[in-house]
Amino acid sequence: MKLLLIEDDNETGDYVSAGLKQAGHTVDLAKDGYEGLLLAREGNYDLLVVDRMLPHLDGLTLIKILRSSGCTAPVLFLTTMGGIDDRVEGLNAGGDDYLVKPFAFSELDARVNALLRRPRETVEQKFLQVQDLEIDLLKRTVKRAGRLIDLQPTEFRLLEYLVRHAGQVVTRTMLLENVWDFHFDPQTNIVETHISRLRSKLNAGSRPDLILTVRGAGYMIHETA
């Protein structure tokens, strides 16, 4: 299998790379987040092993970017950040597994093999559709009932996140973290303002409200009308 290891510590990188090669894999090694992002986008890897604390671009942001662009390769975070909140954050960002340093290579090898055995989506998702709304993820266009809707980049990310979670209640905190990459409350009405603008654009032409407010919880788009 073809693996990408993104690790800035030379000793760890050499150790893990050598072990994975000995286990029969082809391994490319990137030593900072930006290099890792470029390789991941071009290399068609079967699995990524990613440190979280990387120069230039941290591992968490790197994986969020890859997932938002349609990358489906399984991701194993390999990091010293071992708190419960750290693990949850890594998995919510798009990681499939999480291993804390220091580690035994036998466990790393077992986790890599387990991830490689999982069924993988072979065709990258190009479109999202819910009710009469259509999103083209490649062209970055949105249509409702056949009408093209002009959205700003942040509005597009907000809508995409809501549609990907159609049928689920999405909280304000989830939107701050996943649309704006804020891991704190900015104490502003940034979410409410963008929701209001997005609603106005989506509901033009007297269309029914697509984004529902769940009082005291957040927002939701129903999968069916």
Tell me, what's the pLDDT at 124? 53
How far is CA 38 from each of CA 1, 32, 162, 224, rounded to the nearest angstrom?
19, 10, 28, 38
Alpha helices in 44-188 (DSSP H): 59-68, 84-92, 105-117, 153-164, 172-178
Question: Would you say 3 and 26 are in contact if contact means Cβ atoms under 8 Å apart?
Answer: yes
Give the pLDDT confidence score for residue 212 in this predicted structure: 94
Q: Does the pLDDT of residue 166 top 70, yes or no?
A: yes
Q: What pLDDT, on a 0 to 100 scale, did the predictor assign at position 125?
A: 64
User: What are 200's two structure tokens?
Assistant: 């106005």
Coil vs helix vs strand at 125:
coil
pLDDT at 191: 95
Q: How many CB atoms lie within 10 A of CB 76?
A: 22
Distance CA 49, CA 208 (A): 45
Highest mean pLDDT pick, 13-27, 61-75, 115-129: 13-27
pLDDT at 120 over 70: no
Average pLDDT over residues 53-71: 90
Strand 26-30 to 47-50 pairing: unpaired
Domains within the chain, CATH numbers bracketed: 2-117 (3.40.50.2300), 127-220 (1.10.10.10)
Distance between alpha carbon 121 and the CA centroid of its chain, in Å? 15
Tokens of 75: 């991701």
> What integer pLDDT is reported at residue 121 of this predicted model?
53
- Cα angle 106-40-80, degrees, rounded to a multiple of 5: 45
d(CA 1, CA 24) in angstroms, rounded, equals: 8
Percent residues over pLDDT 90 in the chain: 71
- Over range 33-61, report the average pLDDT: 92
The amino acid at residue 186 is P
Torsion angles phi and psi, residue 141, rounded to 5? -120, 155
Lowest mean pLDDT among 2-11, 114-123, 174-183, 192-201: 114-123
Torsion of CA 173, 175, 181, 186, to 10 degrees: -50
Residue 207 DSSP one-character state: P
Q: How many helices (H) and strands (E) does the chain have?
A: 8, 11
Give the pLDDT confidence score for residue 123 in this predicted structure: 43
Determine the 3-state secondary structure of 107 from DSSP. Answer: helix
